[in-house]
């Protein structure tokens, strides 16, 4: 387990949960999108995303990402945001919750995430860290565990320690949450029983996944890797759609419109999450400690092999078995 202040990443993420009054969901979402648009005008803004409630996640969850704690704090404490909150309180069903984490943590893709906030007496920090280590060791033995990361308090913004841990499904998460092993570890850390726990279901982003510790995977920090991953998914998607739509013989201007629409949906809901991301998983999200050189060599070799395979297949289809009009 790694604490965020040792990674050299100065970016910051705020995770805000809010219950919304029944019947006010649409108006709340419109209001929240206005708030996010206002956040985008502030220095250091990297993104804001909204996740509606699910059976697992009772609150609306909003995530703000900024390039530094200072810029995030400037937005969180701004008069602009406070004024918007005064307007939006009519939609709220009680007070919200907020955690701020330092580092490049983007709350995850299709994983299920638990956010736990602890208040810890400064004198008990060494014992708390040892207890967290035992907790992580136990949960890592459960099926579906995808990692954890611990974030220290942030002076002037947040007094709590925040832990993010993830499982691949709600069922696997529930098995851990209700397990006797977790209960025993909680009993061992009775002095740390002052905590708040919130689950975030199927959060943000489906084109690219993030690693189990909450960090954007090292490979995805490279725009080159991002572009190559999209290309690996885009080429077969476009070719297959072209072959499917070809018999319709649509004019170019309408054909491209339809093809682009279908490509967008196919890439978002099928190609990236079920083909490109799993295929390139070890390259995009290399295991901890694996040498970058070896990871890149293997990843690029896989990209080359897959590309040659698709090119060969589509050559045979369009030149040998069928000639496009």
pLDDT in tens, 32-63: 999 988 988 888 888 888 888 877 777 898 88
Q: What is the pLDDT along the chain (325 residues), one digit of tens a residue?
A: 545 444 445 778 888 888 899 999 999 999 999 998 898 888 888 888 888 887 777 789 888 888 888 888 888 878 888 888 888 889 988 767 777 777 644 443 456 778 888 888 888 888 888 888 888 888 888 888 877 777 777 776 677 888 878 787 778 888 888 889 888 888 888 777 767 776 665 433 333 333 333 334 333 345 577 778 888 888 898 888 888 887 777 787 787 788 888 888 888 778 887 888 788 877 876 665 567 788 888 889 999 999 999 999 988 888 887 765 5
Contact between 164 and 114 (Cβ < 8 Å): yes
Contact between 18 and 60 (Cβ < 8 Å): yes
Q: How far is CA 26 from CA 34, 35, 57, 138, in A?
A: 13, 14, 18, 41
Domains and CATH numbers, the chain: 4-201 (3.30.70.100), 218-321 (no CATH)
Buried b (16+ CB within 10 A) or exposed e, 116-147: bbbebeeeeeeebeebbeebbebbeebebbbb
Contact between 253 and 265 (Cβ < 8 Å): no
The pLDDT tens digits for 127-138 are 888 888 888 888
Instruction: Give bridge partners of residue 158 from the DSSP assignment.
Output: 154
Contact between 14 and 76 (Cβ < 8 Å): yes
Q: Which helix (H) or strand (E) holds 199?
A: strand 195-201
Tell me if the pTM is above 0.75.
no
> C-alpha dihedral over 23, 24, 27, 31, to 10 degrees?
-160
**pLDDT for position 257:** 82
* Count of Cβ atoms closer than 10 Å to residue 68 Cβ: 14
Q: Where are the alpha helices (DSSP H) in the chain?
A: 25-39, 69-76, 79-88, 125-139, 170-177, 180-188, 223-245, 252-266, 277-279, 281-284, 292-315
Q: How far is CA 285 from CA 168, 247, 281, 288, 302, in A?
A: 15, 40, 6, 9, 14
């Amino acid at each position: 387990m790694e604490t965020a202040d040792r990674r050299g990443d100065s970016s910051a993420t705020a995770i805000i949960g809010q219950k919304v009054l029944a019947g006010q969901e649409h108006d709340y979402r419109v209001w929240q999108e206005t708030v996010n648009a206002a956040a985008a005008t502030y220095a250091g803004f990297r993104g804001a995303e909204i996740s509606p409630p699910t059976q697992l996640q009772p609150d609306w969850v909003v995530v703000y990402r900024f390039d530094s704690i200072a810029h995030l704090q400037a937005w969180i404490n701004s008069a602009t945001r406070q004024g918007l909150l005064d307007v939006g309180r009519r939609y709220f069903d009680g007070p919200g919750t907020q955690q701020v984490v330092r580092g490049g943590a983007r709350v995850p893709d299709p994983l299920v995430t638990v956010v736990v906030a602890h208040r810890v007496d400064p004198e008990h920090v060494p014992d708390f860290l040892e207890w967290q280590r035992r907790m992580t060791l136990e949960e890592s033995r459960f099926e579906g565990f995808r990692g954890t990361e611990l974030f220290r308090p942030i002076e002037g913004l947040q007094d709590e320690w925040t832990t993010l841990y993830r499982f691949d499904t709600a069922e696997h998460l529930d098995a851990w949450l209700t397990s006797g092993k977790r209960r025993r570890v909680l009993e061992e850390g009775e002095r740390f029983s002052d905590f708040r726990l919130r689950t975030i279901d199927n959060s943000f982003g489906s084109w690219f996944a993030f690693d189990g510790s909450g960090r954007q995977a090292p490979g995805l920090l490279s725009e080159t890797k991002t572009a190559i991953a999209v290309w690996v998914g885009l080429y077969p998607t476009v070719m297959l759609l072209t072959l499917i739509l070809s018999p319709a013989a649509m004019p170019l201007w309408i054909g491209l419109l339809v093809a682009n629409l279908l490509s967008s949906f196919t890439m978002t809901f099928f190609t990236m999450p079920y083909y490109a991301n799993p295929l390139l998983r070890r390259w995009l999200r290399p295991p901890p400690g694996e040498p970058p050189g070896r990871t890149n060599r293997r990843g690029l070799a896989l990209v080359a092999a897959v590309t040659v395979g698709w090119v060969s297949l589509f050559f045979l289809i369009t030149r040998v078995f069928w000639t496009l009009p």
